[in-house]
């Protein structure tokens, strides 16, 4: 069984740029959630995708957007990057449309300069 994978592992961008982060869900999982984790804080929910539709969103501006593909993999896009977007971005997959046990990937560390 393949776990959740994310790419890239690290990324450096400058303010105002755009970034795309990728996530492959665990085999058999149809739901993907994205979280932002600032240093020393717990993960904050960005949004969730279930069967290619957004299925819940946290308190993040519209410049955070996402996609889920037919194979349940997912992308997180962030436009007009700000310094405060520097964080660890975590993807988690689960097997139902409602959040239960979530299986996290290793994360993508984004640094915005």
Partner 1 sequence: SQKIEQNSEALNIQEGKTATLTCNYTNYSPAYLQWYRQDPGRGPVFLLLIRENEKEKRKERLKVTFDTTLKQSLFHITASQPADSATYLCALDIVRKLIFGQGTELSVKP
CB of 7 to partner 1, least distance (A): 14
Report, in Å, the least distance between residue 104 CB and partner 1.
3
Specify the stretch interacting with partner 1 by CB under 8 A; choose among 14-22, 41-49, 60-68, 71-79: 41-49
Judged by beta carbon, residue 15 or residue 51, the one nearer partner 1 is: 51
Q: Does 100 bind partner 1 (CB under 8 A)?
A: yes
Q: Tell me the sheet residues that pair with 8.
A: none
**CA angle in degrees (0–180, nearest 5) for 26-19-58:** 65
DSSP string, 49-87: EETTEEEEE-S--TTEEEEE-TTS-EEEEE-S--GGG-E
Rounded distance, CA 30 to CA 19, Å? 24
Interface pick for partner 1 out of 19, 26, 72, 107 (rule CB under 8 A): 107
Contacts with partner 1 by CB under 8 A lie at 4, 33, 35, 40-45, 48, 55-56, 58, 90, 92, 97-107, 109
């Amino acid at each position: 069984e393949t776990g959740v994978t994310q790419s890239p592992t690290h990324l450096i961008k400058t303010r105002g740029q755009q970034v795309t982060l990728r996530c492959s869900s665990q085999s058999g999982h149809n739901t993907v959630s994205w979280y932002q984790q600032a240093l020393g804080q717990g993960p904050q929910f960005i949004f969730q995708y279930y069967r290619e539709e957004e299925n819940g969103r946290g308190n993040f501006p519209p410049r955070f957007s996402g996609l889920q593909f037919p194979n349940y993999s997912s992308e997180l896009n962030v436009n007009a990057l700000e310094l405060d977007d520097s964080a660890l971005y975590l993807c988690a997959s689960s097997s139902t449309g409602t959040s239960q046990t979530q299986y996290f990937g290793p994360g993508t560390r984004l640094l915005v300069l």
